[in-house]
Amino acid sequence: MRAIAEGLLTDEQPPRLIGGRERETGRIVYPCPPGDTCEPVPLGREGRLWSYTIQRFRPKTPPYAGPEAFLPWVIAYVELPGEVIVEAPLVGVAFEDVKIGMPVRFTTIALDPDAADPVAMPAFEPIAAGDAA
């Protein structure tokens, strides 16, 4: 799968998100902005759910280019300790089981799994008890 945007994911397996460290302040931002104000840095793979909402309606097209058969999903705001808060879908958990503070791990999912050349987009999934790195 190819990434939804260039410069978003590392080439390693499993991939990591690429943030930017501001050269003047050292503050971490996501995504890494173009130009020379930040140096690209791989972000941590694990964090905690900081907040969330459930996307219950199909976003406008464009920019949404997902499957026509829309299904609601969890939009997670994940705190990567000492780095940044990242917004991405939360997968692998029922809506009623989502809890603020739950441990999560970075993954990628196919935007449209039925596409001939699926596009990988960032996501997070719950970490099972005893499965943290």
Residues pairing with 48 in the sheet: 79, 103
Which phi and psi angles does 15 have, rounded to 5°? -70, 165
| Contact between residue 49 and residue 105 where contact means Cβ atoms under 8 Å apart | no
Report pLDDT for 25.
Answer: 96
| Contact between residue 68 and residue 116 where contact means Cβ atoms under 8 Å apart | no
Q: Which helix (H) or strand (E) holds 21?
A: strand 18-22
Intervals of the chain under pLDDT 70: 62-68, 129-133
Report pLDDT for 130.
Answer: 64
pLDDT tens sequence across 61-75: 765 666 667 789 999
* Cβ neighbour number for residue 28 with a 10 Å cutoff: 18
Report pLDDT for 28.
Answer: 97
- What residues have CB less than 8 Å from 20, skipping those under 6 apart? 28, 29, 30, 31, 32, 33, 37, 38, 39, 40, 41
| Contact between residue 49 and residue 76 where contact means Cβ atoms under 8 Å apart | yes
